Chains A and B, each alone.
Chain A
Amino acid sequence: MKIERANILVVDDEFGMREGIRRLFEAQGHRVETAETGRNGIDKGTAEEFDIYFLDLKIGDIDGVEVLGAIKAHFPEAICVICTAYASIETAVETTRLGAYNYIAKPFAPEEIQLVFDRAIERRWYILEARQLRAEQERRLLEITQEKSRIRTIINSIADGIVVLNQDEEVVLFNPQFPRLLELDKELVIGRSIREVLPEPYQELIADIFRQKDSLQALQQEFIIHPPAKLVVMANTTTIRDDQNRLIGYVSVLRDISELKQLELLKSQFVNMAAHELKAPLTAIQGFLEMVVDKTLGDEPETYDNYLRRSLERSKTLITLINDLLNISRIQAGKIRREIERLDLSQQAHSAADFFANEIEKHELTLETEFADGLVIDADREEIQRLLTNLISNAIKYNRPQGSVTLRTSREKGYARLDVSDTGIGMKPEEKERLFEEFFRAKNPHTRSITGTGLGLTLVKKIVDSYAGRIEAESEYEKGTTFTLYLPLAER
């Protein structure tokens, strides 16, 4: 509780006074500055904050009261001791009113001024101590405020909706995503009961949690805000407990899982369709084989020739279907290991067509080709073959006897173009529209006995898309169809 080295300013026009005070206090280890005029006193006294000011009331140039005023205006907490030979009640009152700490009447003995000094310096110490405490408090307050705003910034930047409730179900904290996610129409207010603003399903969730109050640790629940499945939210709610494990509140984190739900729905639809498509050929095969085994239509083996042929046909479709399904799932999972190489599209088309030579002959078709040179693409050979095979086999399957299949390649604005045309049954506009849909197959009298998986073109499109190419179809019902494929040419 001591100031070891106090800074002291003495403003007095009497040399004796200045030197007397200087000697007294410098001897005690303090620093003493002096000013012999009022003007000089104001300059020095306001340039730095001294611990104690000794001010003479009667200075030559300026009134000591004015000096006091100037210093107090600058440092309101300055400790000023008035020294005056004209001590009177009025001047004492006047200077005290102006903020002087004490006064001492001249002339005074050293022990008199020492006493005044000791008291003043103690006072000064308290002032400095208080000032330091205040500064510390302010710094802490600032820290707390900053900490709070940091947490708030973090919480607000989270994409999930977050709400914190106390044990009376009142809102303690939330981020803007929370009301947005629930599409609340009422405003969420801190300190208000959450039940007032929540939609029904969420209220039930809260009620659920409250019922299990004591045992509950965490709860995960899905609920639909906009039926049917337009907005599905997953809520993860956890209890907050104090260090004695007493329940003090809840924190609930909401996540929008609508997209996930939508995907799940699509996936289960796909699985249903796939199951149906797998079952159809098997049902036919089983039926045919039962007929054969049971000799339902008599003992003549030839009676069953057609049934066996159809069974074979349908089982081939089944294998193709399974392969297509596997390929689609591989493409979708991004699990294809591609071996990209420079391929000549015309050569690829040529070898794919060769593969079908027998098939083309069997269907009494003619093959016409027109291949351009130098159509180099970067692609996986197997995928390009699969794509060509699908298109050519369609052109054969959906053709008519004495028809033709035409393969033509050409260059078009940075793309290698391939046209696969047939002179077959064609498509109605509404059939063409659904061409690339999974499991879609045109159903008309011409397609009745043609087997297929409904996945071939889906697969072709997925492959073409993955090479940043595109596929188009032109068709006229009962006249024929042309598929046009564009694949980006390789950069040289």
Chain B
Amino acid sequence: MSKKILLIDDDIDIVELNRALLTMAGYEVVTAFSGAEGLEKVVAERPDLVILDVMMSTVGEGFEVARQIRKNQEIRHTPILMLTGVNREHPFNLRIGPDVEWNPVDSFIEKPVQKEVLLAKVNAMLQDN
């Protein structure tokens, strides 16, 4: 059975791009266009990986989604890959690890994301599981 990935991003084109790419690579892809919709889908779809954009309608909305996922007992172990273009634009200190309260993600990639890098990262994260 193929692994399921949830894409959360408010840019419809970015979602489409990554959806096409990951589908080609043999993954099952579900999508969400806001933080709230994303959280619902994590519960409903139980994905094997969440790919989350950091900046949606408000700066840092992605952080909040990640924290909410970690708070929910049922889904808290879902791996999160965060896409960020903010590292250079904002003075956020991104640290990684499920125990890090501020930004509890497992890995992140700087935007713009190159498709080889994204695929390699996704493959690696899903193999670990």
Q: Are A296 and B24 in contact (CB under 8 A)?
A: yes
Residue A97 interfacial (CB < 8 Å)? no
A296 with B21, Cβ < 8 A, contacts A284-B11, A290-B115 known: yes
Stretch from A159-167, A191-199, A249-257, A442-450 contacting the other chain: A442-450
Q: Is the CB of B10 within 8 A of A284?
A: no
Contacts of A131 in B (CB 8 A): none
Query: Is the beta-carbon distance between B33 and A283 smaller than 8 angstroms?
Result: no
Contact call B17/A287, Cβ cutoff below 8 A: yes
Interface range on chain B: under 10, 10 to 19, 20 to 34, or 35 or more? 20 to 34
A443 to B115, CA, bound (A): 26
Chain B minimum-CB-distance residue to A290:
B115
The number of A-B residue pairs with CB atoms under 8 Å apart is 53
Which residues of chain B are within 8 angstroms of A287 by Cβ–Cβ distance? Answer: 13-14, 17, 112, 115
Q: Is B43 an interface residue (CB 8 A)?
A: no
Q: Does A1 contact B (CB under 8 A)?
A: no
Nearest residue in A to B88 (C-beta to C-beta)?
A275
Alpha-carbon gap, A126 to B39, bound state (A): 105
Nearest-neighbor residue (CB-CB) of A450 within chain B = B12
Contacts of B89 in A (CB 8 A): 272, 275-276
Asked if A190 is an interface residue, CB under 8 A from chain B, the answer is: no
Instruction: Say whether A310 faces chain B, with CB atoms less than 8 Å apart.
Output: yes
CA distance A372 to B57 in the complex (A): 40
A117 near B: Cβ within 8 Å? no
Closest Cβ of chain B to A444, distance in Å, is 8
Interface flag for A87 (CB, 8 Å): no
- Given the interface contacts A296-B20, A443-B33, A445-B33, does A276 sit within 8 Å of B111 by beta carbon? no
Minimal beta-carbon separation of B36 from chain A (angstroms): 10
Q: Determine if B11 and A280 form an interchain contact, defined as CB atoms under 8 angstroms apart.
A: yes
Residue A18 is within 8 A (CB to CB) of chain B in the complex:
no
Indicate if A314 sits at the interface (CB-CB under 8 A). Answer: yes
Assess whether B107 is interfacial by the CB under 8 Å rule. Answer: no
Q: Which of A407-465 contact B (CB under 8 A)?
A: 441, 443, 445, 448-449
Instruction: State whether the Cβ of A348 lies closer than 8 Å to any Cβ in chain B.
Output: no
B27-49 toward A: CB 8 Å interface, digit per residue (1/0)? 00000011000000000000000
Smallest CB–CB gap between B100 and chain A, Å?
24
A288 within 8 A of B: yes
The answer on a CB contact under 8 Å between A310 and B10 is no
Cross-chain contact A314 with B33 (CB below 8 angstroms): no
Enumerate chain B residues within 8 angstroms of A290, measured Cβ to Cβ.
115
Asked if B55 is at the interface of the complex by the 8 Å CB criterion, the answer is yes
A287 to B17: give the CA distance in the assembly, Å.
Answer: 7
Closest to A280 in B: B11
Q: Bound state CA distance, A243 and B34, in angstroms?
A: 72
A297 to B17, CA, bound (A): 11
**A296 adjacent to B13 (CB under 8 Å):** no
Bound together, the chains give a CA A441 to CA B14 distance in angstroms of 17
In the complex, which residue of chain B has the Cβ closest to the Cβ of A441?
B57
Q: Bound complex: CA of A276 vs CA of B59, how far in Å?
A: 11
A273: nearest chain-B partner, CB-CB: B59
| Chain B residues near A449 (CB-CB < 8 A) | 12
B33→A448 contact, CB < 8 A: yes
Cβ–Cβ contact B34 & A283, under 8 A: no
Residues from chain A with a CB closer than 8 A to the CB of B56 are 443
Contact with B along A281-296 (1 / 0, CB 8 A): 0111011101100001
Contacting pair B85 A276 (CB below 8 A): yes
Give bound CA distance, A22 to B111, whole Å: 117
A residues in contact with B14, CB < 8 Å:
283-284, 287
Given A310-B13, A443-B56; A286-B24 close (CB under 8 Å): no
Q: How far is the CA of A279 from the CA of B111 in the complex (A)?
A: 10
> Which residues of chain B come closer than 8 Å to A314, judged between CB atoms?
13
* Contact A291/B20 with A286-B112, A443-B56 known, Cβ cut-off 8 Å: yes
Task: Please indicate the chain A residues that have their CB under 8 angstroms from the CB of B24 in the complex.
Answer: 296-297
Contact B115 A448 (CB under 8 A): no
Which of B10, B16, B90, B115 touches A296 (beta carbons < 8 Å)? B115
Contacts of B33 in A (CB 8 A): 443, 445, 448
Question: How many angstroms from the CA of A275 to the CA of B55 in the assembled complex?
Answer: 13
Q: Are A272 and B13 in touch, CB under 8 angstroms?
A: no
Contact A288 B17 (CB under 8 A): yes
Report the separation of the CA atoms of residues A39 and B89 in the bound assembly, to the nearest whole angstrom.
103
**Complex interface bits, A187-231 against B, C-beta within 8 A gives 1, otherwise 0:** 000000000000000000000000000000000000000000000
**In the complex, what residues of A have CB within 8 A of residue B17's CB?**
284, 287-288, 291
User: What is the chain B residue whose CB lies nearest that of A434?
Assistant: B57
Q: Which of B88-123 contact A (CB under 8 A)?
A: 89-90, 111-112, 115
> Which single residue of chain A is at the shortest CB-CB distance from B55?
A276
Which residue in chain B gives the minimum CB-CB distance to A306? Answer: B16
**Bound complex: CA of A175 vs CA of B10, how far in Å?**
56
User: Which residues of chain B are within 8 angstroms of A296 by Cβ–Cβ distance?
Assistant: 20-21, 24, 115
Contact pattern, A 253-283, Cβ under 8 Å of B = 1, otherwise 0:
0000000000000000000100110011011
A-B contact pairs, 24 of them (CB 8 A): A276-B55, A276-B89, A279-B112, A280-B11, A282-B112, A283-B14, A283-B112, A284-B11, A286-B112, A287-B14, A287-B17, A287-B112, A287-B115, A290-B115, A291-B17, A291-B20, A296-B20, A296-B21, A296-B24, A297-B24, A310-B13, A310-B16, A448-B33, A449-B12
- Other contacts beyond A307-B16, A314-B13: 9, CB < 8 A: A279-B85, A279-B111, A284-B11, A291-B21, A296-B20, A297-B24, A310-B13, A310-B16, A448-B10
